[in-house]
A and B are shown apart, each in its own frame.
Chain A
Amino acid sequence: NAGVTQTPKFQVLKTGQSMTLQCAQDMNHEYMSWYRQDPGMGLRLIHYSVGAGITDQGEVPNGYNVSRSTTEDFPLRLLSAAPSQTSVYFCASRRGPGANVLTFGAGSRLTVL
């Protein structure tokens, strides 16, 4: 089925460890983004990309890196995990930067001890 695929679904890290959350979409969407969901905070935008080679910061970018080498993939890197990064992460894509409807992945639950 076409859509947004995220891996892993669950991950436990120790403070200071690094890891990459993977995101791939097969809908040929130009725009991809990462959100985090925290209790009482809704969904907050971390980073986004309007096309291969183009990325920009969202509302809460600190502690995260992204890159976009292909249209399909948009990995999110945590270089030195902190307990404040314990959250559920969602990757989402849409047809273009001016479109409105996002398609979300199933989420990756990250716990940092």
Chain B
Amino acid sequence: DQQVKQNSPSLSVQEGRISILNCDYTNSMFDYFLWYKKYPAEGPTFLISISSIKDKNEDGRFTVFLNKSAKHLSLHIVPSQPGDSAVYFCAASVEYGGATNKLIFGTGTLLAVQP
């Protein structure tokens, strides 16, 4: 069963506009959420994260929102730039055997920012 879901495989946005990427989860035990960005032929790189005790975290053009009651998080990119074109993975962390955290990833959303 897919505990972390990204229901939009792709998203196209005009340069300068807002990009909103969505992620839903099912496990209420997740205590930390992350977004990763992946360019072709490269490994994923960490973008931004949020603890489950917060509802918003901002870093420059990137803001992550967490709605625990809806089990939903979203990544906002404002303004979008062509260099933001990549696959975005959301991930959720849960304790998995002692003090080990396990990251569970969504299936990814391909963002295309059109010049």
Interface-lining segment among A11-19, A61-69, A71-79, A102-110? A102-110
What string of 1s and 0s marks CB contacts (under 8 Å) between B52-64 and chain A? Answer: 0000000000000
What string of 1s and 0s marks CB contacts (under 8 Å) between B12-45 and chain A? Answer: 0000000000000000000010101000011111
- Docked pose: A4 CA to B45 CA in angstroms: 12
Q: Are B105 and A106 in contact (CB-based, < 8 A)? A: no
Chain A residues whose CB sits within 8 angstroms of the CB of B4 once the complex forms: 42
Partner of A43, one of B41, B49, B99, B105: B105
What string of 1s and 0s marks CB contacts (under 8 Å) between A43-70 and chain B? Answer: 1110010100000101000000000000
Q: Are B43 and A90 in contact (CB-based, < 8 A)? A: yes
Q: Are B105 and A42 in contact (CB-based, < 8 A)? A: yes
Interface centre among A44, A92, A104, A106 (most CB of B within 10 A): A104
Q: Are A40 and B107 in contact (CB-based, < 8 A)? A: yes
The count of residues in chain A whose C-beta lies closer than 8 Å to any C-beta of chain B is 26
Chain B residues whose CB sits within 8 angstroms of the CB of A58 once the complex forms: 102
Q: Are B101 and A98 in contact (CB-based, < 8 A)? A: yes
Q: Are A45 and B43 in contact (CB-based, < 8 A)? A: no
Q: Are B97 and A56 in contact (CB-based, < 8 A)? A: yes
* Residues in chain A within 8 A of chain B (CB atoms): 4, 31, 35, 40-45, 48, 50, 56, 58, 90, 92, 97-107
Minimum-distance CB pairs A-B, first 7 = A104-B43, A97-B100, A43-B105, A42-B107, A42-B105, A98-B99, A104-B44
What are 14 A-B interface contacts by the 8 Å CB criterion?
A41-B107, A44-B105, A45-B103, A90-B44, A97-B98, A97-B100, A97-B101, A100-B32, A100-B49, A100-B103, A101-B46, A102-B46, A103-B46, A107-B42
